[in-house]
Structure 1
């Protein structure tokens, strides 16, 4: 018997290290050639590492969330024969559908160290088990995830797993976000320490960079969407085999129709070169909640699409982002972003700009309130109206408050007179 050391190969992109985001093996596992060993993440992609040999895992390099240098040992495998001291690293192609965080893949991320310290090999740190959970259904999750779920009183069979069928801590986080009342009230539970890694770490780094570099300011205005909601109902009644319209595609159409008057908002700012690029096309980023965190699929050339086409793209891109099938070009290159929490939208929001863009728009929850409206005879009457606040955050280095307010007022006029949306 001998030992074969599988070194982390060169993943490309000129990187010096990668992050371990998932283990598919544990010490003592018997694996075959081409079996998945681990998933590692760079700044732009998650790559699956496959074993080049068959044998038994005797050592693994660190835990999920640890950084590992390119060329250093990832796993040590006991094999038949003499084995090898190290596996010669070979380039690995970046997958076509990398998961990308809420910030475009072109956004600056902290530089990696040119010569990182090798990660020490440790005994078993992570294990994955497959068993049954209620009703005979199989649930794939690590012992740490199972222990946390048990502590939270969560039935893993009720949690939506990632595309590979495994339930991770991020999936539990997403479940809790949408099921806040799941845990029974009452009773004190122990403090919980959750390691921040993978997509969640990338989101944290990029959001911190956005707030650190960009002097944000926000502006909020109330819009009467009664007429817009009435038109949406009429369009849905005559939709045929087309998708049902939500408010979002109508708002996107209104944004695209308003932007030509305010080119400074549909822009990207390269603060190192001191260059602002005002884009003629609207590549609209759409902040989307996924099990791993926020991602921003991009509706290309939104200005050339009608509301039905926009609705189709919203559905297609959101599902691709959630199931991990979105392509890299569908997750980068946005020129302006819209972020909506739907019925959870709140009264007002102050969204964080998707750097290097210079603005982000956030529609909020629709509420019904009594309003004074003209009665057609020179007076006023009280009427129930549907109202929604529109929030916008801007980069004050390149967008003035007057510009942001003027844009929202122009958008408001279009929203409150929705027939103008149909005017080409």
Structure 2
């Protein structure tokens, strides 16, 4: 028997170190060739590290949350033959998008597409034979995604009683389905309701959550934020959107408000190039961009990601709508590539129906502007002395006051407002 050492691979683009996000194996496990053993994270993208060999895990080179240098020892595996203990062998990094089946990662680390669950878990819950329950210790934290944890909490189930069939014993939704289909098993976790609780949970800030925290803290520390809120009558815009969907929705795809907002931003930026810009505050250089690369803030199970709609200025309503849908799905399923998550020149953020009345979005540095969309509501408005019901929506936008003057920001949003209230102007050249 020999020892095969897998070193932290060189992911490229000059990256010297990465964060170890999650292990899918533990010491003593048997691994097969091409099995994913760990997730690591660069500044934005999460990458899976597969094993190039089959064998038994002898040692792990770090703990989740640890920042490791490229070339450092990641894992040792006992293999048949002489191994490569004296050689330099690196695992082949595979982008998360290449995984065969997506699954959320355990809280609070960044999720990537996970290894497909065991074949037995593909059976319906009604035919699933749950294994005997071997309760974990009360202090033991089972592996599970945030969505699984929330579902278990809502159902009053203690995860330590649930058998996990995923990698490294991770508890999947299928495991909860199987557990809850066995009444005598579910009762083992105690009854839900309003019983007193004294438990607590410590969640290390690692992976995607750490990156989000760092970026938000850096943005608030370095950017001179100011926000501007404007009310917009979108009645005519909604009428146009519904008409276009009725006319061409089946053949071209349904339109949401987002592609109209993107179009309005693109047209308004022609007169306000200082807002479609990035600011290098260390070099003291402002770069104004001709291309409009719109970041679409997207909320996933594990945190906020900003995939980029590139060259929005060249897209039609439907082409931009299709690309927004594709990018949002890629971000939510953790399949967005590093290139798809970088390079934006202005960001659009929306909480949809949860958008509230107003908000103060944080500028996505090094950009200098972010446009926030609040929810649409019907309200009585006075028009020409008459009270009429109109569909109203607020735009809550933030700017970097070091680059964008208050009057320019207000005029820009007013231009967007005019385009949305008279949507025919969106298409007049």
Normalised to the residue count of structure 1, the TM-score between the two structures is 0.77
Q: Within 5 A, what are the aligned runs for 1:83-162?
A: 83=83, 85-90=85-90, 95=95, 134-136=125-127, 143-145=142-144, 148=149, 152-153=153-154
Q: What corresponds to 1:111 in structure 2?
A: none
Q: What corresponds to 1:295 in structure 2?
A: 305
Q: Say yes or no: does 1:409 pair with 2:414.
A: yes
Q: What corresponds to 2:222 in structure 1?
A: 213
The offset of 1:287, in angstroms, is 0.8
The offset of 1:305, in angstroms, is 2.2
The offset of 1:202, in angstroms, is 1.2
Q: What corresponds to 1:186 in structure 2?
A: 194
- Whether the 8 Å CA contact 1:11–1:92 is kept in 2: the answer is no
Normalised to the residue count of structure 2, the TM-score between the two structures is 0.76
Q: What corresponds to 1:337 in structure 2?
A: 347
Could you say if the C-alpha distance between residues 56 and 93 of structure 1 is closer, same or farther in structure 2, counting changes exceeding 3 Å? Answer: closer
The offset of 1:339, in angstroms, is 0.2
Deviations 1:304-356 (A, max 9, x none): 22222221221122122223333433322111110001101110111111111
The one of 341, 354, 359 aligned to 2:369: 359
Q: Within 5 A, what are the aligned runs for 1:213-252?
A: 213-239=222-248, 240-252=250-262
Q: What corresponds to 1:272 in structure 2?
A: 282
Q: What corresponds to 2:47 in structure 1?
A: 47
Could you say if the C-alpha distance between residues 244 and 21 of structure 1 is closer, same or farther in structure 2, counting changes exceeding 3 Å? Answer: same
The offset of 1:200, in angstroms, is 1.6
Between structures 1 and 2, the one with greater helix share: 2
Q: What corresponds to 1:21 in structure 2?
A: 21
Q: Say yes or no: does 1:313 pair with 2:314.
A: no
Deviations 1:32-55 (A, max 9, x none): 333322122222443332334332
Partner Cα separation in structure 2 for residue 185 and residue 406 of structure 1: 53
- Whether the 8 Å CA contact 2:291–2:313 is kept in 1: the answer is yes
Deviations 1:269-321 (A, max 9, x none): 11122111111221111111223322222222212222222212211221222
Could you say if the C-alpha distance between residues 323 and 88 of structure 1 is closer, same or farther in structure 2, counting changes exceeding 3 Å? Answer: same
CA RMSD for the aligned pairs? Answer: 3.5
The one of 411, 416, 427 aligned to 1:422: 427
Q: What corresponds to 1:115 in structure 2?
A: none
- Whether the 8 Å CA contact 1:96–1:328 is kept in 2: the answer is no
Q: What corresponds to 1:114 in structure 2?
A: none
The SS at the match of 1:261 is: coil
Can you give the 5+ residue segments of structure 2 that lack an aligned partner in the other structure? 100-115, 131-140, 159-165, 174-190
Could you say if the C-alpha distance between residues 60 and 283 of structure 1 is closer, same or farther in structure 2, counting changes exceeding 3 Å? Answer: same
Can you give the 5+ residue segments of structure 1 that lack an aligned partner in the other structure? 100-127, 157-163, 172-182, 375-379
User: Which stretch of structure 1 is more off in the superposition, 82-91 or 287-296?
Assistant: 82-91
The offset of 1:217, in angstroms, is 0.5
Partner Cα separation in structure 2 for residue 83 and residue 303 of structure 1: 54
